[in-house]
Amino acid sequence: MLNHDLIEATKTFVKETLKDAEGGHDWFHIQRVYNNSLLIAKGETVDQLVVALGALLHDIADSKFHNGDSTIGPKIAGAFLVKNNVDSVTINHVIKIIENISYSSNIGKTDVFKSNELDVVQDADRLDALGAIGIARTFNYGGFKNRTLYDPDIEPNLNLSKAKYKASKAPTINHFYEKLLLLKDTMNTKTGQRIAKKRHEYMVGFLDQFYDEWNGEK
């Protein structure tokens, strides 16, 4: 069962914490992931409170905006949940979701934490990197980092280590091949797989149009 007072308090906390966040990792990203998580959870056997809290707190301090420090987010989330008298089992599960949800955190990792709740929130988060929203977020972040849109002479690197992935300054288009187009095949749930397939196809169509326009063919 969801504790509605706790959920509302968490939403307020996240909105305030992320009020100045980059546009692809702001409160609206959290809200979309939260809504997608609730949708996906309907078809899964999960602890709904863990799913809700994991979705709301998963990006409370994304490491890419904190000099690569992936420990800050779990610490902030844990302190907030303790302050709100959440039980230790729920807190530990939410922290595990935050620590293991990202694409980069699983590169080269063999001892990956798994749970049905993580599967749901991870799918919801990855769906937000696909489709029209995913395209918008990708170029928004590329602009935030002042990256080149596209450079035909710089090919995507499909064998990036975790360190090289996190340090990459490649053109924005390369990110589609180095991550986004790979997400469809990483989805955990049937609902996630169904939605991801449609969003993946939309992105493929966008790339076809992009290259045609780049080459003056359309």
Helices (H), 58-87: 72-83
CA angle 97, 102, 105 (to 5 degrees): 95
Q: What pLDDT does 107 receive?
A: 62
Quote the CA–CA distance of 146 and 22 in Å, as a whole number: 13
- 81-129: pLDDT as tens digits: 999 999 999 999 999 999 999 876 666 566 678 999 999 999 999 999 9
pLDDT tens across 113-170, in order?
899 999 999 999 999 999 999 999 999 999 999 999 999 999 998 887 766 766 678 9
- Count of beta carbons in the 10 Å neighbourhood of residue 112: 9
Q: Tell me the C-alpha distance between 122 and 188, whole Å.
A: 8
At residue 67, does pLDDT exceed 90? no
pLDDT value, residue 8: 96
- Indicate the pTM of the whole model: 0.89
